[in-house]
Amino acid sequence: MNQSLANKLVLCDLDNLLLGPDGNLTQVVRDVLQLFSSRGGRFTVFSQRTPKAVRAILGSVRLSAPALVCGGTLAYHFADGSRQPLCSFAGQDAGLFASLPSAAGVGIALQMQDGSTRVLRMSHALEQHLQQEWTPYLLANAADIRPDEVLRALVYQDNRSIPLTSLLEKALGDSTTALLGERAAPDLLRLTPRTVSGAEMLQAVCTPVGIAPENVLVLAGSMPMLELVRAASRSAAAADAPAELRLAAKQVTLTDAAGGAAVEVLYRMVRDAEKLA
């Protein structure tokens, strides 16, 4: 084992840097991950997906530390099934989720602290996302949902002409001011009660496995990892990542996300470690 790699951990953007067009890990990524781990490197991921969806994608790839799933609101340790929620709707009105819009073409899913996805209202866009992201789900009644068990709400719209923001403001009233809305895609709005800090996320990844946060390299390709990039002592962004992310990162890769930014960084770490051996 190469000690120069063994005391480092790479926290990588799964959704944007490791997956091919079919939603699977590409073969070159699998090969480099195997090489990296065989040299003693430690690796974990950040993803918008739930733990079950991430596990299905990773297959035989084993993680060395808790993964940040559900957009960084949950630290999930696949090694023992333990989890640490970093966010919840505790303190919000118990009827909050029942108040979410019931308009035609609007789908609503909740990502829960137990790692599951509960669908309150199905729509075409929501169904497509669930299939594309390999996300298992349960149908649920909003009246049965406890706010303290919810990490975030995902609101999908089938048609861009649906006035989603105004529908939410009308449905939620004063509760809207207490929520953060993030337009993640043209058909998706994510609602969370607060922003999880990068320091909180790093601590949740590092503490269970005894890694110092300063030994973590955050490898990012999308804006949801901005807080992590800002908090990390070591960070890299893909060449085609949003400008704000590239400016915040300590380094920028030569290749873009689809061209192998993650492979570039991991392989370079292996080569550098071999030179020091």
Residues 118-175: tens digit of each pLDDT:
999 999 999 999 998 889 999 999 999 999 999 999 999 999 888 888 888 888 876 6
| Least confident piece of the model among 22-36, 51-65, 152-166 | 152-166
Query: Is the pLDDT reported for residue 1 higher than 50?
Result: no
- Angle, nearest 10°, between helix axes 27-38 and 261-276? 20
What is the band of 267 on the pLDDT scale with cuts at 50, 70, 90? very high
| Distance linking the first and last C-alpha atoms of the chain | 10
Same-domain status, 216 and 252? yes
Note whether residue 150 is domain-resident.
yes
Note whether residue 55 is domain-resident.
yes
Average pLDDT, the chain: 92
C-beta separation of 13 from 225 below 8 A: yes
Query: Which pair of structure tokens corresponds to residue 201?
Result: 């996320």
Q: How far is CA 144 from CA 40, 51, 88, 113, 127, in A?
A: 46, 22, 16, 15, 22
Q: Which of 144, 164, 192 is the last residue of a domain?
A: 192
Instruction: Identify the domain containing residue 126 by its residue range.
Output: 97-192
What is the band of 178 on the pLDDT scale with cuts at 50, 70, 90? low
- How far apart CA 59 and CA 38 sit, in angstroms, is 17
For position 124, what pLDDT does the model report?
Answer: 96
Note whether residue 147 is domain-resident.
yes
- Mean pLDDT (whole number) for 17-22: 94
Note whether residue 92 is domain-resident.
no
For position 163, what pLDDT does the model report?
Answer: 86
Same-domain status, 68 and 137? no
**Structural domain total, the chain:** 2
The model's pTM is 0.93
Same-domain status, 159 and 144? yes
